[in-house]
Amino acid sequence: MGKGKLKKWRENAQLPNVHEPELQHAIDGQEYMKGQWQSEVFGNENPITLELGCGKGEYTVELAKRYPERNFIGVDIKGHRFWKGAKESTQMGLPNVAFLRTRIEFIVTFFAKDEVAEIWLTFSDPQPKDEKGTKRLTSPKFMDRYRKFLVPGGIVNVKTDSDLLFEYTVEALGAAGIEFDMLSRDVYGELVNRVDDEMKDILNIRTYYEQIWMEKGEKINFLKFRL
């Protein structure tokens, strides 16, 4: 195990905006902060946005900077990745940012009914070997989980470089009768030219890996829908 990871894990343990409950507790169905994020973590009743599979937490931090009247939680199992976002947001004194280290399949043990207003799925693993698609974060199985804590009509945003994940999601949601607020196979070549300035600014938030993919000429896909 690299010393860099160990150092970041130690720092995470000291950061006030990082939550690292025991994974076994989630596996056993033990709840953590469920229904208490607004009151106990943020100290307000502002709406919550989750970035699931947040990586370095770029969207969590950048959205929090733009929307101080909302709360943002980045969720990922790899704490050494979101260490960057957690440390930066602490140094910037952003009170509306938190990070949760857990596996997404146990997400319902952390959030209560109607506790979350919006979800971002930013460059989720397309799980190419998962032929049934049940491990993909946009699968019907995961959508059922999200419904348990999203407000009625809660927004889900999917930004991905993976054509596999994009086409799978379009097909799965279409089969479920879910309509799209936005759909684009080329965010920067097409979508940014037909949305308002606020949405354009949000779409132009680019993750570390997204920038690399774009430099290679890869196009970015985007979906927005409501559950």
Active site residues: 125
8 Å CB contact between 123 and 207: yes
8 Å CB contact between 169 and 223: yes
3-state secondary structure of 80: helix
- Rounded distance between C-alpha atoms, residue 104 and residue 142, angstroms: 9
| Radius of gyration, CA atoms only, the chain | 17
In DSSP terms, 75 is beta-bridged to: 52, 100
What would the two tokens of residue 54 be? 């947040």
Angstrom CA distances, 106 to 27, 74, 173, 191, stand at 7, 15, 22, 33
In DSSP terms, 71 is beta-bridged to: 48
Q: What is the per-residue burial (b if ≥16 Cβ within 10 Å, else e) of 162-173?
A: beebbebbbebb
Could you tell me the sign of the dihedral formed by the alpha carbons of 91, 97, 102, 104, in that order? negative
- Rounded distance between C-alpha atoms, residue 97 and residue 210, angstroms: 22
